[in-house]
Amino acid sequence: MTALRLWIQDLCASSTWICRKFREQQMRERVAGPPFVHLSRPQSSQLFLVYSGMDAYYSGQQICSMGLLKFLQVSGLGSRNLTWIRDPFFNNYAGGFGPDVPDLASLENWHRQHLASLPHVREIYTIGYSSGAYGALLFGHLLGANKVWAFSPRTADWETDAEAKAALRARFQQGNGVTRYDVWHAHRNRLDRQFADTIRDCAGVTVHSHPKYGATHFLLDRMILSGEFQSLLPGESPVTAALSPSLAGG
Amino acid sequence: MTARRDWLIEQMRQLLVEKLEVRVPVTEIHARTPLFQGGLGLNSFAVVDLISQLEQRFQFQFREADFREEHFRDLQSLADLLESYHPAGLMALKEATA
């Protein structure tokens, strides 16, 4: 059943303009609730910023096609600080979160304030799938994250696809001197590979063409279910400095 | 049901309405109301928000192995799970907030 579901979703993900517009309309109807959620793990010095993609909205605001509960259970990230961030306006995070955080600059500032509120965090990682990969790459770059994992990268809006990729490439050509970016795509997925190619030669970027799973756009699902994703993650890094009893969980 | 169980479920009902802004009147949220489809209709993102709110309010941390849908089916199953963590601590919290 899982294979059949992924096949159908792959089909939807690569369908025509009309299907895309229909899907986008469905996604807009699904957007509700907070623009981010955070799970605090005071014993961990690692923060994972996870960016949702459009297909995540399509399947009910999840990461890849997997429910967030399942993701927490099997990904190995449930014991580390986690922040899920959405792109409620489907424009590669350029619209921020809304009136209080209305644009990219203010969203970058929001990120910095969020990090400042987590003084026990020493390592920052970003993860994204599909158009969430765009967010992971962008904010990983802006924040100087330790590492970025971008799976099956896409932009959120086909009409501004070329401009968005060019803007990301321009930023990456400047480099931040710190971040390493691992970009993954299934070897026969043309659109995901085309995105990866736009930043392939930039500093710190390694593109991985996964030899299995054909043309799937749902590479992250496959890699989580196979255990490959978990093997990419760094070992857990506990907070070494003494924390107050309230932060340590009593 | 025990008094502690009733209290826990009441706390979670309030949390759903006040923090998660569930669009269902609190009087229509019962122990066996499904959290997902056919009930409150929480999506995946809202469930993680619920997890975060529960951890903050009850001062504990879920184990990764407990992030299973059967534990998040309804408030009854969630109360079962919460009680498995630290019933003594929950009782102390109940008394502190009484």
Contacts of A52 in chain B (CB under 8 A): 45
Q: Which residues contact A177 (CB under 8 A, 6 or more apart)?
A: A203
Global pTM value: 0.85
Mutation target among B35, B45, B56, B85 for the A interface, most CBs of A within 10 A: B45
Q: Is residue A107 scored above 90 in pLDDT?
A: yes
* Residue in A with minimal Cα distance to B65: A73
> Can you tell me the mean pLDDT for B74-88?
86
Contacts of A61 in chain B (CB under 8 A): 43-46
Facing A249 at nearest CB: one of B20, B43, B59: B59
Residue type, A48: F
Q: What is the pLDDT of residues A6-54, one digit of tens each?
A: 666 666 555 555 555 555 555 554 445 678 999 999 999 999 999 987 7
The C-alpha of B55 sits at a distance from chain A's nearest C-alpha, in angstroms, of 9
> Can you tell me the mean pLDDT for B64-76?
93
Return the percentage of chain B with pLDDT > 70, whole number. 87
Facing B68 at nearest CB: one of A34, A73, A86: A73
Joined together, the tokens standing for residue B63 give 């184990």
User: Which ipTM did the prediction report?
Assistant: 0.85
The domains of chain B, with CATH numbers, are 3-92 (1.10.1200.10)
Nearest to A205 by CA among A136, A132, A104: A136
The C-alpha of A61 sits at a distance from chain B's nearest C-alpha, in angstroms, of 6
Is the Cβ pair A30, B43 closer than 8 Å? yes
Rounded Cα distance between A96 and A106, Å, is 7
> Can you tell me the mean pLDDT for A83-108?
90
Contacts of A233 in chain B (CB under 8 A): none
Range of lowest pLDDT (A58-67, A112-121, A208-217) = A58-67
Contacts of A72 in chain B (CB under 8 A): 48, 51, 64, 67
> For residue B46, what pLDDT band results from cuts at 50, 70 and 90?
confident
* Residue in B with minimal Cα distance to A41: B61
